[in-house]
């Protein structure tokens, strides 16, 4: 029935239709409801109608465990700070009242801007924002005022994405840019060392304990792993993040190279930091606290802003991990370094790719030379 | 050749000639299609550094207008006696003298602001706009048009400076020229000043957005 309706109104949006100026809006809704005819295989920087929607929806699925747990944890933190115990559903419901408005604001503002730009520039609406809009509430503390979420989303979409030409053209991860905007614009809200727990109560995060050297106060490893700790909405439960990672790896959307090398880099750097006494927390505590894993799984692997070459991905991920730990351990002003590390490496990703590609070219040239005139190579 | 033609055109003399349409265009073009910052993209660094507040931005704008105007005037007066091979040194000497004069005047008249501007007044010497106008205009034109061109370019620069400073101060501190303009009731309702606007990166972004708007209003600025 819906299909018939869409087919019936479609001519109005055609080249000569009277509603032509709304054609990209129409296409967005049509392809949102039905699989587009044109489908390609991987990577959303390839501006083919490729199945970007499929990719994006898969990432959203992978984020769902974190999202649901984040909602529950928000309520759980609230009631446990007040010294009350509630059943599952009231807790979950309370979390909904905090988290869902953020999600709605992020989507309404972000998609609104995307639709306007698509309309003005006369291209289809891209689905890139489905994931960014879902990520934004997950990487914010639960108490960020909604208007701040809106402003940050607008900034990220306009300055981070549309300025460069829209989805697939951006240099930085839009969701992280929104967080960076909040972080620098309203530092008192986003410092990463203390976070909202319940109304009018805020508690220190694991990271602030690590930064201040109070390792005794850091939650136990199992708490850090299961996630019943204060923090930004989606980052607390490492278990749910691992489920998401499994989904991304299974579907081939997230790059295992980036994930593994990021963890390796961070592990190495945290180990060095611990051995040299620069930080009191152990490697495991560093890996499990804060947004590191969340960033490594969902944000560093963003196919647009990370390195594209296979070797480049190893280097990119490793440097993200190293930088995150360097910022955490050696810069007391920033208890959490993952956001800045990813944004920094996003900036360098094209350079990494360039070097990898050039190296490959020169290696092949050398091989070619060797094959054509072996004596010349031997002599030199 | 063009000088010859100009002299013939201006032969009549008189005040009307001084403010002819052609001369006025020298003064007004830098505000729009030929703006030193948004079109020629000169003098960016000081535009980023002094625009966190309106007051220093305004003082900076006035200083640059004075320097560009008089540097153009003086170089234009000297233009036929400057040996081409050492012209850069002569130009620099003139600019440096003017900048020192401006700096000393500021220290005497408005010490607070000059302290805020710190090194950036001195750095007007290296501002590409000043040198650029000397090379491009004053070396080949008569004193009066040169003076107008200098003032126009300085003012075009200052205009952008003040726009950027207004946006940054309004959103970053909620003030304009130091006066609170955002009512206290906003803060009670949960509004917070945006700290990012105080930081230099935001000046770059604001400037970028201004260039974006300027270009989309003025289509022929867009390169093919």
Confidence of residue A354 (pLDDT cuts 50, 70, 90): very high
In this structure, the answer to whether residues A20 and A113 fall within a common structural domain is no
Q: How far apart are CA B193 and CA B186, in angstroms?
A: 10
Confidence of residue A320 (pLDDT cuts 50, 70, 90): very high
- Which pLDDT score is estimated for A46? 45
Expressed as residue numbers, the domain containing A205 is 38-364
Residue A371 counted as domain residue? no
More confident call, A100 vs B183: A100
Closest CB from B190, B195, B208 relative to A185: B195
In this structure, the answer to whether residues A130 and A170 fall within a common structural domain is yes
> Looking at the predicted structure, is the pLDDT value of residue A50 above 70?
no
Residue A255 counted as domain residue? yes
In this structure, the answer to whether residues A176 and A300 fall within a common structural domain is yes
SS3 of B42-65 = CCHHHHHHCCCCHHHHHHHHHHHH
Interface test with A, best of B196, B203, B207, B215 (most A CBs within 10 A): B196
Residues of chain A with C-beta less than 8 angstroms from the C-beta of B194: 151, 185-186
In this structure, the answer to whether residues A16 and A44 fall within a common structural domain is no
Is the Cβ–Cβ distance between A206 and A224 less than 8 Å?
yes
- Note the helical H segments in chain A: 2-9, 23-33, 52-81, 88-121, 128-138, 146-160, 174-185, 187-190, 206-212, 221-226, 238-251, 256-276, 283-288, 292-294, 310-330, 338-372, 374-379
Residues of chain A with C-beta less than 8 angstroms from the C-beta of B174: none
| A148 to B192: CB separation less than 8 angstroms, yes or no | yes
In this structure, the answer to whether residues A58 and A19 fall within a common structural domain is no
Residue A2 counted as domain residue? no
pLDDT by residue (tens digit) across A127-164?
A: 678 888 888 888 888 778 888 889 899 998 888 888 88
> Looking at the predicted structure, is the pLDDT value of residue A45 above 50?
no
Q: What's the angle, vertex CA A28, arms to CA A25 and CA A30, rounded to 5?
A: 110
In this structure, the answer to whether residues A17 and A163 fall within a common structural domain is no
In this structure, the answer to whether residues A22 and A82 fall within a common structural domain is no
Residues of chain B with C-beta less than 8 angstroms from the C-beta of A187: 195
Q: How far apart are CA B79 and CA B105, in angstroms?
A: 27
Residue A233 counted as domain residue? yes
B174 touches chain A (CB under 8 A): no
Shortest distance, CA B194 to any CA of chain A (angstroms): 5
Residue window 183-202, chain B: list those with CB within 8 Å of chain A: 190-192, 194-197, 199
Residues of chain B with C-beta less than 8 angstroms from the C-beta of A184: 195-196, 199
Place of tokens 């290696």: A363
In this structure, the answer to whether residues A189 and A314 fall within a common structural domain is yes
Lowest mean pLDDT among A166-180, A217-231, A285-299: A217-231
Residue A376 counted as domain residue? no
| A145 to B212: CB separation less than 8 angstroms, yes or no | no
Nearest residue in B to A180, CA atom: B196
In this structure, the answer to whether residues A32 and A42 fall within a common structural domain is no
Mean pLDDT value across chain A? 77
> Looking at the predicted structure, is the pLDDT value of residue A118 above 50?
yes
- Which pLDDT score is estimated for A357? 92
Confidence of residue A15 (pLDDT cuts 50, 70, 90): low
Neighbours of A124 (CB within 10 A): 17
B178 touches chain A (CB under 8 A): no
Alpha-carbon distances of B70 from B34, B93, B97, B104, B153, rounded to whole Å:
20, 13, 11, 16, 12
In this structure, the answer to whether residues A84 and A233 fall within a common structural domain is yes
Mean pLDDT of A175-182: 88
A186 touches chain B (CB under 8 A): yes
The tally of domains found in chain A comes to 2
Mean pLDDT of A208-218: 61
pLDDT by residue (tens digit) across A233-286?
A: 777 788 888 888 888 888 877 888 889 999 999 889 888 888 887 777 777 877
List, in order, residues 6 or more apart from B211 with CB less than 8 Å away. B38, B41
More confident call, A31 vs B31: B31
Counting one residue from chain A and one from chain B, the pairs whose CB atoms sit within 8 A come to: 23
- Which pLDDT score is estimated for A210? 64
In this structure, the answer to whether residues A138 and A14 fall within a common structural domain is no
In this structure, the answer to whether residues A88 and A22 fall within a common structural domain is no
> Looking at the predicted structure, is the pLDDT value of residue A195 above 90?
no
Residue window 144-183, chain A: list those with CB within 8 Å of chain B: 145, 147-148, 151, 159, 163, 181
A368 touches chain B (CB under 8 A): no
pTM, rounded to two decimals: 0.77
Residue A369 counted as domain residue? no
- Which pLDDT score is estimated for A44? 47
Asked if the interface predicted TM-score (ipTM) of this complex is over 0.95, the answer is no
| A145 to B190: CB separation less than 8 angstroms, yes or no | yes
Shortest distance, CA A172 to any CA of chain B (angstroms): 15
Residue ranges in chain B modelled with pLDDT below 70:
1-18, 221-224
Mean pLDDT of A338-362: 91
| B196 to A184: CB separation less than 8 angstroms, yes or no | yes
| B199 to A148: CB separation less than 8 angstroms, yes or no | no
Tokens standing for A309? 């070459």
């Amino acid at each position: 029935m819906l299909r018939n309706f869409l087919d019936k109104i479609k001519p109005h949006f055609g080249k000569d239709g009277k509603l032509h100026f709304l054609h990209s809006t129409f296409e967005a809704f049509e392809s949102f409801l039905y699989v587009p005819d044109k489908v390609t295989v991987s990577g959303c920087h390839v501006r083919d109608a490729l199945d970007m929607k499929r990719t994006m929806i898969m990432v959203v699925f992978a984020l769902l465990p974190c999202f649901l747990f984040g909602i529950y944890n928000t309520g759980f933190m609230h009631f446990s700070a007040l010294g009350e115990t509630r059943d599952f559903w009231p807790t979950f419901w309370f979390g909904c009242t905090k988290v869902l408005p953020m999600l709605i604001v992020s989507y309404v503002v972000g998609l609104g801007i995307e639709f306007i730009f698509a309309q003005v520039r006369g291209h289809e609406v891209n689905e890139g924002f489905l994931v960014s809009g879902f990520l934004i509430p997950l990487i914010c503390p639960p108490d960020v005022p909604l208007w701040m979420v809106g402003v940050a989303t607008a900034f990220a979409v306009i300055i981070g994405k549309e300025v460069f030409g829209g989805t697939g053209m951006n240099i930085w991860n839009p969701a992280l840019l929104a967080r960076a905007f909040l972080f620098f614009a309203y530092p008192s809200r986003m410092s990463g060392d203390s976070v909202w727990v319940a109304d009018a109560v805020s508690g220190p995060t694991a990271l602030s304990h690590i930064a201040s050297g109070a390792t005794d106060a850091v939650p136990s490893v199992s708490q850090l792993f299961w996630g019943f700790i204060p923090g930004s909405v989606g980052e607390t439960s490492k278990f749910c993040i691992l489920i998401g990672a499994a989904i991304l790896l299974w579907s081939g959307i997230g790059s295992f190279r980036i994930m593994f090398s990021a963890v390796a880099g961070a592990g190495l750097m945290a180990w060095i930091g611990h051995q040299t006494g620069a930080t009191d927390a152990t490697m495991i505590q560093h890996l499990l606290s804060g947004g590191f894993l969340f960033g490594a799984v969902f944000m560093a692997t963003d196919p647009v802003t990370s390195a594209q070459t296979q070797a480049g991905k190893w280097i990119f991920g490793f440097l993200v991990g190293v930088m995150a730990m360097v910022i955490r351990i050696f810069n007391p002003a920033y208890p959490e370094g993952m956001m800045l590390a990813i944004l920094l490496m996003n900036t360098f990703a094209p350079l990494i790719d360039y070097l990898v590609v050039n190296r490959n070219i020169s290696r092949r040239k050398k091989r070619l030379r060797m094959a054509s005139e072996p004596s010349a190579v031997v002599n030199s | 050749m063009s000088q010859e033609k100009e002299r013939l055109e201006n032969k009549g003399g008189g005040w009307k000639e001084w403010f002819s349409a052609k001369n006025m265009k020298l003064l007004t073009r830098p505000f729009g299609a030929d703006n030193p910052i948004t079109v020629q993209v000169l003098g960016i660094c000081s535009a980023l550094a002094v625009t966190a507040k309106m007051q220093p931005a305004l003082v900076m704008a006035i200083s640059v207008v004075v320097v560009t105007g008089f540097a153009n005037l003086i170089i234009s007066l000297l233009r036929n006696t400057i040996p081409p091979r050492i012209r850069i040194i002569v130009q620099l000497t003139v600019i440096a003298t003017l900048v020192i004069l401006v700096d000393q005047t500021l220290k005497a008249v408005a010490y607070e602001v000059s302290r805020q501007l710190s090194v950036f007044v001195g750095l007007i010497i290296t501002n590409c706009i000043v040198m650029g106008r000397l090379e491009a205009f004053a070396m080949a034109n008569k004193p009066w048009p040169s003076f107008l061109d200098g003032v126009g370019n300085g003012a075009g620069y200052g205009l952008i400076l003040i726009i950027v400073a207004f946006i940054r101060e309004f959103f970053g501190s909620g003030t304009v020229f130091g006066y609170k303009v955002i009512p206290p009731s906003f803060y009670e309702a949960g509004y917070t000043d945006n700290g990012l606007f105080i930081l230099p990166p935001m000046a770059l972004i604001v400037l970028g957005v201004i260039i974006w708007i300027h270009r989309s209003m003025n289509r022929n600025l867009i390169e093919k």
